[in-house]
Amino acid sequence: MSDRSYRFSHAIVRLPADSATAGLRAIDTGEPDITLIREHHADYVAALRTEGATVIELPKLESFPDAQFVEDTALCLPEGAVVMRPGAPSRLGEAAVMAPVLHRFYDEVLSIAGPGTIEAGDILTTESEILVGTSARTNDAGIAELTGLVARWGYRVRRLETPPGVLHFKTDCSLLDAETILSTSRLAAAGGFSNYRVIYTAPGEEAAANSIRFNDAVIVPDGFPGTAEALARAGYKVVPVGNSECAKLDGGMSCLSLRFSPPKAG
C-alpha cells in the first residue's frame, strides 16, 4: 500500500506572533506564556527536521493571532493544494496569505470560494479517502465545494460529524498509518472509522488525539503517558513535544504545520 498520507518531504510553519496570546479559545484556562509558546514551537520544528522535513518557516503575522495554526488555511495533496475558507471571521484573511506560499510548490492551487466555510483542521486525509467533519467552522456547503474541487484528482470525500463542543474533527483524531487512526472514544463512538483500526487515547487524555504521523515518528503533545505508552506498545516511534500553551488556545500538533510533498521544488 502507498504511504503518501503520512510520509512527507516538507512542512510549512509560521512563527508565533506576540499577539498569539490573544488567539481564539473556547474556554479561558489561563493566559498562554508567549516565551513558552516560542520554545515549544522551536521544539516542534526541530522534531520535524529530525524526521527529515524541509521546514519552511513563515514570518509571524501580528494582525492574525491564530496564524501559527497554519494547518487550517489549506489542504495539501500530492497533486495540488486547496486554500480553505475559515469559518472563524478573524481567521478568514489567513488563507489568502497562504496562497502565494503554496504557489511556490504547486502548479495547481485551488480555493474554496464560498459561501460555505471549511477549515483544514476538520480534514483527515487517509490513504484511501478524505474524511471531513462538520463543526462550528466547517459546514456542508464548504464540504460540498471541497468535494467538487478534489474530484479532479480522484479523491473521494466522506462527511462525518465532529461531536458538539469539539473545535475540529482532528482535535480528536490523527492518522497513524494507512489503516490506523488514533482517536478519542467520543469521536470514534460517533461512527465512521469502521474501515480502520482505532487506537484510543487513554482515559482523561483526549488532548493527545491531536498528534501527527510524520515519516517514522508520531509527534504527540507531551504529558499524556497512557496514550504515549499505547502508541509505543503498538510499535510506533513516539516523539513528545510540549504543547501546554497552545492547548490554552485549542491548538495541538496538527494545527502547527502543513505537511506535504510538493510536486515542484519551491
CB of 156 to ligand CIR, least distance (A): 22
- Of 73, 162, 171, 183, the residue at the interface with ligand CIR (CB under 6 A) is 171
CB of 110 to ligand CIR, least distance (A): 20
Q: Which is nearer to ligand CIR, 107 or 165 (CB)?
A: 165
Per-residue CA distances from 192 to 121, 159, 173, 208, 257 (Å): 17, 9, 12, 20, 25
Contact between 255 and ligand CIR per CB under 6 A: yes
- Of 168, 213, 248, 259, the residue at the interface with ligand CIR (CB under 6 A) is 168
Q: How many residues bind ligand CIR (CB under 6 A)?
A: 19
Note whether 231 and 253 are within 8 A (CB): no
Which of 13-21, 156-164, 178-186, 249-257 is the region at the interface with ligand CIR (rule: CB under 6 A)?
249-257
Contact between 133 and ligand CIR per CB under 6 A: no
- C-alpha cell read off for 245: 500553551
| C-alpha to C-alpha distance for 100 and 96, rounded to whole angstroms | 8
Contact between 85 and ligand CIR per CB under 6 A: no
Hunting for cell 467533519 — which residue is that?
Answer: 133
Note whether 117 and 139 are within 8 A (CB): yes
Q: Which of 96, 39, 56, 86 is nearest to 242 (CA)?
A: 39
Which of 53-61, 66-74, 146-154, 229-237 is the region at the interface with ligand CIR (rule: CB under 6 A)?
66-74
Asked about 168 being catalytic, the answer comes back as: yes
Contact between 94 and ligand CIR per CB under 6 A: no
The SS3 assignment for 74 reads strand
Note whether 106 and 81 are within 8 A (CB): yes
Q: Which is nearer to ligand CIR, 23 or 142 (CB)?
A: 23
- Of 40, 41, 66, 73, the residue at the interface with ligand CIR (CB under 6 A) is 66
Catalytic pick among 10, 40, 41, 168: 168
- C-alpha cell read off for 206: 483526549
Neighbour-count burial for 68-91, b at 16+ CB within 10 Å, e otherwise? bbbbbbbbbbeebbbbbbbbeeeb
SS (H, E, C) 131-177: EEEECCCCCHHHHHHHHHHHHHHCCCEEEEECCCCCCCHHHCEEEEE
Asked about 40 being catalytic, the answer comes back as: no
CB of 189 to ligand CIR, least distance (A): 20
CB of 92 to ligand CIR, least distance (A): 11
- Of 102, 243, 250, 253, the residue at the interface with ligand CIR (CB under 6 A) is 250
- C-alpha cell read off for 232: 509505543
Annotated catalytic residues are: 168, 255
Binding region for ligand CIR (CB under 6 A) = 23-25, 66, 69, 71-72, 88, 91, 121, 167-168, 170-171, 249-251, 254-255
